[in-house]
Chains A and B, each alone.
Chain A
Amino acid sequence: MMKRWQFVKRLAPLMAMMVLVLAACGREDLSTLNPQGPVAEEQFGLMKLAISIMLVVIVIVFAISLYVIIRFRRRKGDNTIPKQVEGNHKLEIIWTVIPIIMLIILGVPTVQSVFNLAKDYSKDPDAVKVIVTSHQYWWEFEYPELGIKTAQELIIPTGKTIAIEAKSADVLHSFWIPSLAGKIDTNPGANVNKMYFSAPKEGVYLGKCAELCGPSHGLMDFKVKAVDESSFDRWTAAIQEPVALPSDPAVAEAFQSKCLTCHAVGDLGGPAFPNLTGIGSRESVGGILVNTDDPQYSNEGSVYDNLYRWIKDPNSIKPGNQMAGAYDLTEQELEGITDYLSKLTLDYEQ
């Protein structure tokens, strides 16, 4: 038997929860509800408009449902036959026309925004161009005008428009920085995509892969670090300086023969896998081991500890990644290389 309070009881916690969740709009560096840049703000604006219109729909439907359920339930012993109504033209026109009006209210700004967000900044001399190439399971960032290639951490100057050209080196991935801009797929082959975004405020923003790409899809994180323009200039200079090999010749030999075959530091090594220049000053190792002096969670630790964990057994951090099993290091070499990399920093922040 359905009683009226059961229906109310069902809705109450949902509504309470919604209020609660909306009140706390999530992390500044991750939530789409807490936009930190103009692109995400424009998208959030459209989301708010849509949610408001849809809340009106929900309220109307729920109110009619509730009224009908309570008012017209069959009483015990009631055997009357209700009037058989075929329909009502006036009502039917109302609930055809009103939704159309609502959709126009939503549709016009949608179309405007579609074209606005499709603007091409790749020829804009003021924009910073970045070619994003996704790999299983890491991100490569190339600044073609500056001749810089780096990985996992996209350094951008605040306030400038970043013109992205996105593609994939293997399977489909999707480039997403929730608090700065919605996602764009990275396709293999000739289907190169363009998008843009900017970050007015300094800070580190979390980036995610948003297209199933294999076992470690959920761990394919990256960071976007927005710094002021002079810091950015210092960074572009610092990352292009030559890098010295480890001072211990045994470690240097191991590093050269086992790491630089795939990775690069400075002008040494190969381009196939993430460029390690300045890895010691990045926010994280492997995108998910967060570097901090005050670790709280199992994925946090000092730069040294994180690098050690990663190099020792990358497959336990990111299952299925291509670094696993590609080399064999003695404990001494491992510690030496970890120490070297953890000190491979770029000094560009004030």
Chain B
Amino acid sequence: MAHAHAHTHAVKRHSGLMDWLTTVDHKKIGILYLLAGGFFFLVGGLEALLIRIQLWKPMNDFVSADTFNELLTMHGTTMIFLAAMPILFALMNAIVPLQIGARDVAFPFLNSLGFWTFLFGGILLNVSWFTGGAPDAGWTAYAPLAGTTYNGDHGVDYYVLGLQVAGIGTLIGGINFLVTIINMRAPGMTFMRMPMFTWTIFITSALILFAFPALTVGLAALMFDRLFDANFFDPSGGGNAVLWEHIFWIFGHPEVYILILPAFGVISEVISTFSRKRLFGYSSMVFATILIGFLGFMVWAHHMFTTGLGPVANALFSIATMLIAVPTGIKIFNWLFTMWGGSIIFNTANLFAVGFVPTFVMGGVTGVMLAAAPADFQYHDSYFVVAHFHYVIVGGLILGIFSGLHYWWPKMFGRALNETIGKLTFWTFFIGFHLTFFIQHFLGLLGMPRRIWTYLDGLGFNEMNLISTIGAFLMALGTILFLLNIVTTAFKPKNAPADPWEDGRTLEWTIPSPAPEYNFAQTPLVRGYDAYWKEKMDGHKGMTPAEPLGPIHMPSPSILPFFMGVGLFIAALGFMYAPDWGDMFDGFKAGYGVGIFGLLILFGCMFLRSVIDDHGFHIEEEEILKDKGGKA
């Protein structure tokens, strides 16, 4: 850390709304991700409820067929890109730097940029509801249905551009965390001493780095098809519709692991902490995570068994897919044997984690069943698949997120969530979840295709659909209870101790809750795996510092990332509506003018970022000492 300019720069801090718009602090960005992701989770959940209301009885017309397709498309897209991923980003922002003993991420400015592009991309996507129709070609947006011939309005344009803008944020975030984890670990924190959550985020970030460019390329090609009359995916113009399926799933399958690996990390931390035991088979867990990440890129065509790739491809992708069960099984048994012989306490966080294990196994075994291509000819695009991926994503990822949020809430906000409401949340959500989705396996096997607006009476689907809808309302109740818990907790005193669970094992529990701006007053020296637990067992009160107390260099806040998001938002709208808005002057469309204006904002901000010399500021020793005294 260069001290050449130390003490010469004034402390730059904003307060109130301006603080949140300009912050580059990973902990605050984590909270922003949680707020935005939580909001979109509610939106996606509402869409899911409308879907289930439409399907509660046969031949229902609660929503129209067009609206139903918009709902199913937006439900999937919102939940994956705007709810699940941002909430994971919330947890990784809030926790990873603390777990590795860092003061911030490697690129704080980029971190903020990632958040704002995600948010503006997400808003852009949802603006479509109010401008004449949301995208309706499914979250997979298969061509040619997603092309202009069959989707003439702007719905799919919002999908393409909204995801493109939001995707920038994800890619930036992935690169940022790769660099952070490689470069910013505290002294002694070797790779094989990293907490499991950090490991999974590391692998997830690597997957983002390789998977998201595929999505970017696919969306760019689809954008050219839609906005500029290109022919990548339109067979009538010489394109190929199957090409889109490949590009989408080369991104889409790793995306599943991008989502689930962090949940694995959360579960590993929570089960280990609340069993008061070291994670069983740590090195095989690391190995399994890497293997899952690697295999995740080798199996995309199992989403396309019925596309007609031929027997050789289908056989190879069947076997490759089955292989993933092996490292996943290793993880399951490692969790069970972490609990074996432990002293397990069942608080809310651990209920979610322990509930995760059998639930995820159920999603995993249906995954292996789906891997057998000839059987998949029957399961594919039926409700069996719907049940399978909701077991993985809700029963896996969302239970993991709930577990992680209850676990780290005190570290993020300085207040622990209420345990009674928490347990109620768990039981309603958990029972509701199984009620909703277990039955859907059978709906699929009995011949109900997915993504259908309604079904005929007398086919034997009625009762099961009704049960499924009742389950969905229970899940909604669970979510409302969670919100209630957040609100009531917010009014409680901010008094969580540094190690609120008393069994904390990793570095984040060595610093106050919530962590001060600079995280660690002194960078800790890590002497082993489960660094804090090791010190506790050796009879030490805290970590040994690796450096003397001194002024801490901090990055300056900046409003530029916010405006870069605004610029992209304006540019996307301009290019999208260029065909409708007429000419600004002769032969030049007004929409292009607006688009270029948006891009100018973006490039202007980039220019300012490049020329303004900003060395950040320092937090002086006195302030750090004052913090320490105040929190003791």
Give A contacts to B, CB under 8 Å.
1-2, 10, 14, 17, 21, 25-27, 30-33, 40, 42-44, 46-47, 50-51, 53-54, 57-58, 61-62, 64-65, 68-69, 72-74, 78, 80-88, 91-92, 95-96, 99-100, 103, 106-107, 110-111, 113-118, 136, 170-172, 174, 176, 178-179, 181-185, 187-194, 206, 208-219, 221, 288, 290, 296-299, 319-320
In the complex, the answer to whether A181 meets B377 with C-beta atoms within 8 Å is: yes
In the complex, the answer to whether B447 meets A30 with C-beta atoms within 8 Å is: yes
Q: Is B434 an interface residue (CB 8 A)?
A: yes
In the complex, the answer to whether A61 meets B64 with C-beta atoms within 8 Å is: no
Assembly CA distance A113 to B319 (angstroms): 13
Q: Is B346 an interface residue (CB 8 A)?
A: yes
In the complex, the answer to whether A91 meets B377 with C-beta atoms within 8 Å is: no
Chain A residue numbers with a CB within 8 Å of B325 are 99, 103
- CB B178 to nearest CB in A, in angstroms, measures 27
Assembly CA distance A190 to B241 (angstroms): 10
Q: Is B344 an interface residue (CB 8 A)?
A: yes
In the complex, the answer to whether B373 meets A110 with C-beta atoms within 8 Å is: yes
Q: Is B553 an interface residue (CB 8 A)?
A: no
By beta carbon, the residue of chain A nearest B381 is A210
In the complex, the answer to whether B315 meets A2 with C-beta atoms within 8 Å is: no
Interface residues as binary, B360-388 with A (CB distance below 8 Å gives 1, 0 otherwise): 01100110110111111110111000000
In the complex, the answer to whether A2 meets B351 with C-beta atoms within 8 Å is: yes
Q: Is B88 an interface residue (CB 8 A)?
A: no
Residues B269-322 near A (CB distance < 8 A): 275-278, 280-284, 306-308, 310-311, 314-315, 318-319, 322
Chain A residue numbers with a CB within 8 Å of B341 are 72, 82-83, 85
Q: Is B389 an interface residue (CB 8 A)?
A: no
By beta carbon, the residue of chain A nearest B333 is A95
In the complex, the answer to whether A206 meets B458 with C-beta atoms within 8 Å is: no
In the complex, the answer to whether B451 meets A212 with C-beta atoms within 8 Å is: yes
Chain A residue numbers with a CB within 8 Å of B69 are 212, 214-215, 217
A-B contacts besides A84-B278, A217-B449, 8 pairs, CB < 8 Å: A46-B374, A47-B375, A74-B344, A95-B330, A182-B380, A183-B380, A219-B454, A319-B65
In the complex, the answer to whether A319 meets B66 with C-beta atoms within 8 Å is: yes
In the complex, the answer to whether A95 meets B368 with C-beta atoms within 8 Å is: no
Q: B439's contact among A17, A96, A187, by CB below 8 Å, is which? A: A17
In the complex, the answer to whether A72 meets B275 with C-beta atoms within 8 Å is: yes
Assembly CA distance A88 to B357 (angstroms): 20
Assembly CA distance A40 to B308 (angstroms): 18
Chain A residue numbers with a CB within 8 Å of B464 are 21
In the complex, the answer to whether B281 meets A32 with C-beta atoms within 8 Å is: no
Give B contacts to A, CB under 8 Å.
58-59, 64-66, 68-69, 137-138, 142, 144-145, 150, 235-236, 239-242, 275-278, 280-284, 306-308, 310-311, 314-315, 318-319, 322-323, 325-326, 329-330, 332-334, 336-337, 339-346, 351, 354, 357-358, 361-362, 365-366, 368-369, 371-378, 380-382, 423, 430-431, 434, 438-439, 442, 445-447, 449-460, 464, 537
Interface of B is mostly: helix
Chain B residue numbers with a CB within 8 Å of A182 are 306, 374-378, 380
| Contacts A/B (CB < 8 Å), 13 sampled | A62-B361, A64-B333, A74-B343, A74-B344, A87-B334, A91-B337, A92-B330, A113-B372, A118-B310, A171-B145, A187-B307, A191-B307, A215-B64
- CB B197 to nearest CB in A, in angstroms, measures 19
In the complex, the answer to whether A114 meets B375 with C-beta atoms within 8 Å is: no
Assembly CA distance A161 to B69 (angstroms): 37
Q: A92's contact among B278, B281, B345, by CB below 8 Å, is which? A: B281
- CB A254 to nearest CB in B, in angstroms, measures 30
In the complex, the answer to whether A172 meets B142 with C-beta atoms within 8 Å is: yes
In the complex, the answer to whether B310 meets A33 with C-beta atoms within 8 Å is: no
In the complex, the answer to whether B382 meets A210 with C-beta atoms within 8 Å is: yes
Chain B residue numbers with a CB within 8 Å of A46 are 372, 374-375
In the complex, the answer to whether A87 meets B280 with C-beta atoms within 8 Å is: yes
In the complex, the answer to whether A87 meets B453 with C-beta atoms within 8 Å is: no
Assembly CA distance A297 to B456 (angstroms): 8
Assembly CA distance A138 to B276 (angstroms): 61
Chain A residue numbers with a CB within 8 Å of B332 are 61
Chain B residue numbers with a CB within 8 Å of A92 are 281, 284, 330, 333-334
By beta carbon, the residue of chain B nearest A65 is B358
Chain A residue numbers with a CB within 8 Å of B138 are 212
In the complex, the answer to whether A33 meets B456 with C-beta atoms within 8 Å is: no
Q: B377's contact among A43, A86, A111, by CB below 8 Å, is which? A: A43
Assembly CA distance A115 to B312 (angstroms): 8
